[in-house]
Structure 1
């Protein structure tokens, strides 16, 4: 690609999307894998990937993890460039933690229903109504929302953090009402919920899952706490993405019905190849899958392009970054005891 063509592509790059150049030649198969590895070495880059990413991306990643694990890796990396294979708010968090690093995301249209549905302005309004409340916000939110929060939580550390907050103050929890209700039930805390939910986890059907459990009585249902209460009430185990993974690996059961994004099954099968994993059913009977189409927007081809041309790059105003950094650092400091 000529410098003129690349400059033109950069100038036309949308805020939320990936550049498309019809005459661009992209390696395929094993050549594509090797090209990405070569770029990683050439640019001193690190590839971070979430468990919900496509299998090929999981396999090539330097670090694979859930939101908490990836936040820690982003903070500790010595790489010059972070290629973040996840959704937009995750790459934003990496930039918040690493202002001097270049952070690129294969496709910035890899968004999140939770993040897109919760605004900093909305949280300010909630704080005005409840001035004594502590705002604990799920990491699945954008930088503006983080900046209005007192502390960030992930599904891995939320219960511990919520329990440690001052008992004499109510808690505003945003943006996932299902996770919030689960935490309120577990901790007994007085909580005020933002009305948001994950489009993947709220799609699970309690009725269809109950039918699965009846037809495979030896199976254990495991569920992510972003699922609705009716599903969680049926589950043998409820936990974060990494907790579900560890449970399948270590539990004596050999058959599991898994109520979370199906991308986790790839790593589960690696760690427990002798166990049977059954995706939990959703309401839509025409589709038995539980894929997050946002997570699946990232592909190996887009990863190659974003590393080669260092686009799209995550950038943000420094004042916003510093305000968003404070509640993330509060989370990381408080969650050091969580392994």
Structure 2
């Protein structure tokens, strides 16, 4: 379908149906351009909680739309592509996690928001990369903690909080794809550059970073730091909005181990959403996210605790 037609129709349908489009920074730039709000997981969770729209179109992945529905049971929540999943969420099956949790009965459970509603329902607190340290710091020092599902983020948080965490062995395929050798080569060619990395990245990437933070944290760092050249170790979709905010700065995506078209790391799940799928889901009001009342009630508690602490 013609791009101009799709854009015009999406704008018309949004107005007619009182819909809002929430998009993650990792979405295709065409979707970012038409979104009402672009953010990271924490920002989007807060926005989903406060919107007065009747329909939320969540241009992101499955667990994000699910979280939006948990926060907005009376609103219709749509996801452009139902198959847009997440390696972290998919790698933490509720049956397996229940066994893992039962092996540590004196531990409370903090889960990264990149997990299913079933995992959230088994948790005491939910966190994002933006507030994870704050969430852990709110727990008494003598209280033992399970952290899931991201082992890389968990290792980073252990170093930052100086707390011992029992970690679930999960990882993000995007943030594990960065090549240290290629990164060092780029840095040697740009010695005045600063490296900004997401804490889902592996420890050898974090060790060479000048700044470690969430998607929004990386954006704020690059906006405010006087350096002119930045190597960005997170999903390359972040560069679209960021390049508009800092047109005078050079932004280099951290290279992945694989030789691909963009020489960067992209989330195949995030890129499953397209402008055409966004139009069709708004037109047909499908696929629609639903969460049972019982599951929603259980999963809402740790999310609300997170939002209160944030």
TM over 0.5: yes
* 1:173 has 2:147 as partner: yes
Q: Cα offset for 1:286?
A: 4.8
Structure number with larger C-alpha Rg: 1
* 1:103 has 2:104 as partner: no
1:201 is paired with a residue whose SS is: coil
Q: Cα offset for 1:289?
A: 2.0
- State the partner residue of 1:215: 189
2:163 is paired with a residue whose SS is: coil
- State the partner residue of 1:131: 105
Worse-superposed segment, 127-136 or 286-295: 286-295
* 1:324 has 2:299 as partner: yes
- State the partner residue of 1:36: 10
Return the alpha-carbon distance in structure 2 between the equivalents of residues 31 and 285 of structure 1. Answer: 35
Return the alpha-carbon distance in structure 1 between the equivalents of residues 304 and 191 of structure 2. Answer: 44
Instruction: Kindly provide the CA deviation profile for residues 44-69 of structure 1, in whole angstroms up to 9, marking residues without a partner as x.
Output: 00100000001111111111100000
2:257 is paired with a residue whose SS is: coil
Question: Which portions of structure 1, spanning 4 or more consecutive aligned residues, are displaced by more than 6 angstroms?
Answer: none
Return the alpha-carbon distance in structure 2 between the equivalents of residues 207 and 187 of structure 1. Answer: 29
* 1:183 has 2:120 as partner: no
Q: Cα offset for 1:119?
A: 2.0
2:256 is paired with a residue whose SS is: coil
Q: Cα offset for 1:38?
A: 0.5
Return the alpha-carbon distance in structure 2 between the equivalents of residues 261 and 71 of structure 1. Answer: 19
Q: Cα offset for 1:281?
A: 1.1
* 1:50 has 2:24 as partner: yes
1:202 is paired with a residue whose SS is: coil
* 1:87 has 2:58 as partner: no
Instruction: Kindly provide the CA deviation profile for residues 254-283 of structure 1, in whole angstroms up to 9, marking residues without a partner as x.
Output: 000010000000011011011101111111
Q: Cα offset for 1:122?
A: 2.4
Cα contact 1:120–1:147 (8 A) shared by 2: no
Instruction: Give unmatched runs, 5+ long, in structure 2.
Output: none
2:289 is paired with a residue whose SS is: coil
1:256 is paired with a residue whose SS is: strand
Return the alpha-carbon distance in structure 1 between the equivalents of residues 260 and 75 of structure 2. Answer: 44
Cα contact 1:83–1:106 (8 A) shared by 2: yes
TM-score scaled to structure 1, two decimals? 0.90
1:47 is paired with a residue whose SS is: strand
Return the alpha-carbon distance in structure 1 between the equivalents of residues 260 and 217 of structure 2. Answer: 30
1:245 aligned to which of 204, 209, 219:
219
Return the alpha-carbon distance in structure 2 between the equivalents of residues 170 and 204 of structure 1. Answer: 32
Return the alpha-carbon distance in structure 2 between the equivalents of residues 64 and 213 of structure 1. Answer: 29
Instruction: Kindly provide the CA deviation profile for residues 95-132 of structure 1, in whole angstroms up to 9, marking residues without a partner as x.
Output: 00011100000001110000000122222212211111
- State the partner residue of 1:18: none
- State the partner residue of 2:122: 148
2:273 aligned to which of 292, 298, 307:
298
Higher relative contact order (CA 8 A, sep 6+): 2
Once superposed, what is the RMSD of the aligned Cα atoms?
A: 0.9
1:203 is paired with a residue whose SS is: coil
Cα contact 1:120–1:146 (8 A) shared by 2: no
Return the alpha-carbon distance in structure 2 between the equivalents of residues 209 and 193 of structure 1. Answer: 27
Return the alpha-carbon distance in structure 2 between the equivalents of residues 127 and 176 of structure 1. Answer: 15
Return the alpha-carbon distance in structure 1 between the equivalents of residues 236 and 127 of structure 2. Answer: 23
